[in-house]
Structure 1
Amino acid sequence: MSDDHAAHAISAYGSVINQTPHLDRIAANGMRFDSAFCTNSICAPSRAAILTGTYNHVNGVTTLDTHLDNSLWTFPDALQDAGYVTGMIGKWHLGHGPGFDPAGFDEWRVLPGQGHYHNPVMLEADGVIVERGGYVTDLITDDSLDFIDRHADRPFALFCHHKAPHRVWEPSREHFTMYDDLDIPEPETFRDDLVGRAEVVQAVKMRMMDLDPIIDLKSPVPAGLTLDEEISWRYQRYIKDYLRVVASIDDNVGRLLDDLDARGLTDNTIVVYTSDQGFFLGDHGWFDKRLMYEESLSMPLLVQYPPVVDAGSSSDEIVVNVDFCPTLLELMDVEIPSSVQGRSFAPLLDGSAPDDWPQSMYYRYWMHHDGAHDCPAHYGVRTKTHKLICYYNDPLDQPGAHGPTEPMEWELFDLVADPYEVNNVIEDAAYADVRLELEAELSRLQITVGDTAYPPPSARKN
């Protein structure tokens, strides 16, 4: 798993800005999921959802300022109990110290917090601190290969979790000058003026002009540029470093795949590549994630398992990150506990879908006005054809969320007629019935997952 790797920066997903030949190997030998989504597009909450198979109001990890209580059940616990040797290497980002260190793993070596791209410090059990020399993506892969080498003769479950391509996008020496002689194409919606979108969306601090020239772009802004020229210059600085660190991910995924091939383990190993969420790559003029727009909501999901998955297959059925846990448990012949809210998508791996497969998914972002990106708190529903988003704009006393509370706003997008989400039709009379249907579906999903609609009962008037 990587951090903030947008699906549209993978050539198997049709990227027009980079090539990822080793990730493409997984897609070519397995299944590409085209409608995989996160339930909260931010690092820690998505990771908690993946590990527990539950939504964030259940597992308690709603914002970046909340941590995963390691007394809670996670699916590595179940794998460990079933006899798999389990390892967590790389980015954990769910808290440290008693009560929060990784649990359910026979071995773990993780970055503290975000960690560093170069010469990182890593933590092990019993508080051991390991100072490493080198580039973080290479080191995480080195440790992963060592884990496989020591446990290749027994069933194992390895969680190789990369820091890259998280901000601040520091490339390795091998990729430092990659793309120097190219201009990366600007996305279709790069100049989106956001007219007609919710006011709180127009106000988020994720535009190119919000990138720090020194920390993010590693260069002062050249003198004499017009505003449009500076925005384009900032995009090129940003996207090239982002793609350079993605190239390191791709190279190191290749190392892991080559190792499995060399050991003769490929046909008996489930290989999953994903990211904790998507990312804006200049789409709508933004960087970062958080919002329920497609580029942030979508997760890359590639699954290779030759005995079950046809090579070069794909699925457009809706799956969400809480589904990863029960899927892997089913594929690994481990019982799925009743506490898991996700549904195994193992039945999709043969290219078909059960008649009752979900046609919608529920999303909720809790971290209202975090102080840096100023994204609003919101929830919503996405179907295969439409998306309804409610910006309820209230911190609700969530850790790391701040005021002010603002009036509720809504957005409605027709994903068939408007795949780039530039036309908010919430007030369009032609969509009145669609809105009512989506509001009913949103309410149904909230009841199903046990979440509370806004305002919470304590704030409602009789």
Structure 2
Amino acid sequence: MGRWSSLGLLLVAVVFSCNGNGGADKVGGGKGGKGGKTEAPGEPSAIAAAAPSGSGSVAVTGKGRPDGKARPNILFVLADDQRADTLACMPKLGKLLARGTTFKNNFASTPLCCPGRSSILTGKYAHNHGVLSNGDIEDEDGSKSPGAIDFRKNGNEAKTFAGWLQQKGYRTGYFGKYLNAYDKILETEPMHIPPHWDEWRAFSHAEYFDFDLMERGLGETKATRRCYLSNEAEEDRDRKGNHKGTGSAAEKSDSEENAKGKKKGKKKERKCKGVADEVVRNGKENYSTDVLRDQVIGFIRKVTQEGKPWIAHFAPKAPHGPFLSPARYQPDPEEASFSKEALDRLSSCALFDWKGRPPSYLEADMTDKPQWIQESKSKRTAEDRLDRVRHMQLASVLATEDAVEEILKVLGELGVADETVIVYTGDNGFAWGEHWHTHKNCAYEECIRVPLVVVDPRAAGGPRTVDDFTMNVDLAPTFAAWAGASVPEKVDGLSFAGLVDGSAKGPWPRTEVLSECWGPGTAGRPDTHAAVRTKKWKYIEHYADDARTKLRVHDGSPERELYDLEKDPFEVDNLLRLSPANLARTGHTKDFVDTTTADLAAKLRALEAK
């Protein structure tokens, strides 16, 4: 099968890992080891103003591709823990997304931060890039290798899409959250920056306030610390003269003290303690999404002047815990109370009140579920806490929306909006109490389904909706296709470029998706499990070992799940654990369920072997 297509002009890619459709080709089948402002009513938003005219002049930056098309810029926005359904709560982005391609069935291959982000960077499943967790899984010798260390140890740093695009003359920039435990690398190599990134402004440890950035821009590499509320009596030490890490230990200490003070009914002033070359004390203005936004804009201005095509990877912390918003939306970061502006922006968001909660929410009968998720119910998470988390997550993405709006405004000012593809996605979903789960790293829809929207100003035919299956591993090969770059290694992803510009021929080759999770399976925490999902079915196996060779057994039977997603989209009835009477109620027979299970298990084996 030939490559579906390649994109031409500069692409602004805003990727919300969410949904996906279309036709693309498989690049390989890898195998391996393991300050925004809202517009006044009636006024066009900056997003609308930056929309490509279709007839305006287009400045071609960089040399053309072999097929005669110009290479697009790519703006790649990666949210952290954003559920697919929350896109409906971002009205400003809605105006942008209405012009693009919305992928309705986009999935995370491993719905956990570090493994998922590693898959995005490499185009590989976790069992091929070798990053299985955020760093809480023990190695054979009993030690734990944090995610970023595993990523580097397995040789992945030099094998990301940044290198592929850099070889084609692209300027590459990374802004925000990198991989979990990047700070652990910096403890022994204080100035380590992964290869192939021309500009690097990444968290050593991701935070909303009081955060450190490793920065390399104009030939200088340094660590800077942005402070929220500072204690001038604190002594800021010079990294070069007294290096003891990146300040994360001090952050943890302060967090613990704040927590203790809160229990006593007191609020402890935050301290600006850290090891850095430069300390910036801008108080409440040092909200990380806003700081990163300005750095993305600076990068775009600089590389546009150079006449180079570029990719800007913008990875804010939102809406990851602790789910904080800037002062304009959340005046007190210690309280889940929001400004009038925030509440007005969220007034059309049905998820804020969430009156139509699914039957899986605080599910009544969990006897057909695996042991680890039953233990989640035993913890009895309070509903008011679930509401608080949901409200704070929804508020925190407003600043991301503001940031994208400001960036697109600058693209319009620079005359490159028509040359940029926007990709908006997320690294994984997040459960708000479905099946009593309140996190990620599960195979249920809330965890694996992520937003994905692509706006390509060169695509003809208006907005599109794609129902085909896309995944996080598809992003890297798609970026390569847009840039006219070759993928030097086999990858597990497909280029969905043809689904975006309408050039795809024939049926989309992916008919099922793989989900993989590794975990301890204790105290209500996710266990090690893998799943295969088709349009109609989802089959999940739970394992007693990380190598996934031995099924976990509970109550004398192997822990497996089977759901008919057409009849049971909220995954309430596990057909493999229902009584004969309840199974009959679903319209299925035991023989049919057994045959279906065997077929899906074979599909899962095939995906695991790739």
| Aligned CA distance change for structure 1 residues 367 and 198 (closer, same or farther; 3 Å) | closer
Q: Does 1:387 align with 2:538?
A: yes
Matched with 1:129 is 223
| Offset at residue 151 of structure 1 (A) | 1.1
2:208 pairs with one of 117, 128, 135: 117
Within the candidate set 100, 110, 116, 1:30 is matched to: 100
Q: Which runs of 4+ in 1 moved over 6 A?
A: 180-183, 205-208
Q: CA deviation at 1:353?
A: 5.9
Shift of 1:206: 10
Residue 164 of structure 1 and its aligned partner are, at CA, apart by 0.8
Secondary structure in structure 2 of the residue aligned to 1:88? strand
Gapped runs of 5+ residues in structure 1? 12-18, 210-230, 398-404, 450-462
1:164-313 matches, within 5 Å, as 164-176=318-330, 177=338, 178-179=342-343, 184-186=353-355, 187-188=357-358, 189-193=360-364, 194-204=366-376, 209=381, 231-308=382-459, 310-313=461-464
Q: Which amino acid aligns with 1:6?
A: R
User: Which residue of the partner structure matches residue 80 of structure 1?
Assistant: 166
Confirm whether residue 48 of structure 1 aligns to residue 118 of structure 2: yes
Residue-by-residue CA offset, 1:233-266 (whole Å, 9 max, x unaligned): 2222221111110111122121122222232222
1:145 counterpart residue number: 297
Residue of 152, 157, 178 corresponding to 1:92? 178
Look up the match of 2:275.
none
User: Partners of 1:301 and 1:276 in 2: how far apart?
Assistant: 10
**% identical aligned pairs:** 29
1:311 CA displacement = 3.4
Distance 2:158 2:377 in 1: 35
Q: Which has the higher contact order (CA 8 A, sep 6+)?
A: 2
Q: Distance in 2 between matches of 1:436 and 1:56?
A: 24
* Whole-Å separation in 1 of the counterparts to 2:123 and 2:203: 23
Of 13, 20, 25, which aligns to 2:90?
20
Number of aligned positions between the proteins: 412
Alpha-carbon distance, 1:339 to partner = 2.1
Measured in 2, the distance between the counterparts of 1:418 and 1:83 equals 49
More divergent stretch after superposition (268-277 vs 344-353)? 344-353
Unaligned runs of 5+ in 2: 1-77, 136-146, 227-281, 331-337, 578-582, 584-589
Deviations 1:144-201 (A, max 9, x none): 1111111123211110111111111112111111449987225223231333212222
Tell me by how many angstroms 1:279 deviates: 1.1
- Cα displacement (A) at 1:396: 4.9
- The 5-angstrom pairing of residues 287-366 of structure 1 reads 287-308=438-459, 310-351=461-502, 354-355=506-507, 357-366=509-518
- CA shift for structure 1 position 118: 1.4
- SS for the counterpart of 1:317 is strand
Q: Are the aligned partners of 1:377 and 1:391 in contact in 2 as well (CA < 8 Å)? A: yes
Q: Distance in 2 between matches of 1:423 and 1:317?
A: 25
Q: What is aligned with 1:431?
A: 593
Q: Return closer, same or farther for 1:318/1:290 CA change in 2, 3 Å cut-off.
A: same
| Distance change in 2, residues 1:356/1:250 (3 Å) | closer
SS at match of 2:430: coil
Native 8 Å contact 2:158 2:194 kept in 1: no
Of 78, 82, 86, which aligns to 1:5? 82
Compute the displacement of 1:31 (Å).
0.3
Cα distance, 1:71 vs structure 2: 4.5
What is the identity, as a one-letter code, of the residue corresponding to 1:151? V
The one-letter code matched in structure 2 to 1:415 is L
Q: Which amino acid aligns with 1:354?
A: G
TM-aligned CA distance change 1:375 to 1:269, over 3 Å: same
**Residue 309 and residue 75 in structure 1: after superposition, are their counterparts in 2 closer, same or farther (change >3 A)?**
farther
TM-score calculated relative to the size of structure 1: 0.83
Aligned CA RMSD, in angstroms, stands at: 2.5
CA drift at 1:100: 6.7
Q: Which has the larger radius of gyration?
A: 2
What is the CA deviation profile of residues 377-430 of structure 1, one whole-angstrom value per residue up to 9, with x for unaligned ones? 001101111100001132459xxxxxxx76541000111101111111125514
SS of equivalent to 1:234: helix
Q: Which moved more, 1:288-297 or 1:148-157?
A: 148-157
Structure-2 separation of matches of 1:247 and 1:446: 38
Aligned to 2:198: 106
- One-letter amino acid matched to 1:76: A
CA distance in 2, matches of 1:168, 1:336: 37
What CA distance in whole angstroms lies between the structure 1 residues aligned with 2:298 and 2:391? Answer: 31
Question: Are 1:412 and 2:548 an aligned pair?
Answer: no
3-state DSSP of counterpart to 1:150 = helix
Question: Does the 8 A contact of 2:373 with 2:437 survive in 1?
Answer: no
Aligned partners of 2:123 and 2:475 also within 8 Å? yes
Provide closer, same or farther for how the CA distance between residues 184 and 206 of structure 1 changes in structure 2, counting only shifts above 3 A.
farther
Report the Cα distance in structure 2 between the residues aligned to 1:195 and 1:246, rounded to whole angstroms. Answer: 36
Q: Deviations over 1:214-250 (max 9, x none)?
A: xxxxxxxxxxxxxxxxx33222222111111011112
- Find the residue that maps to 1:445 and give its secondary structure: helix
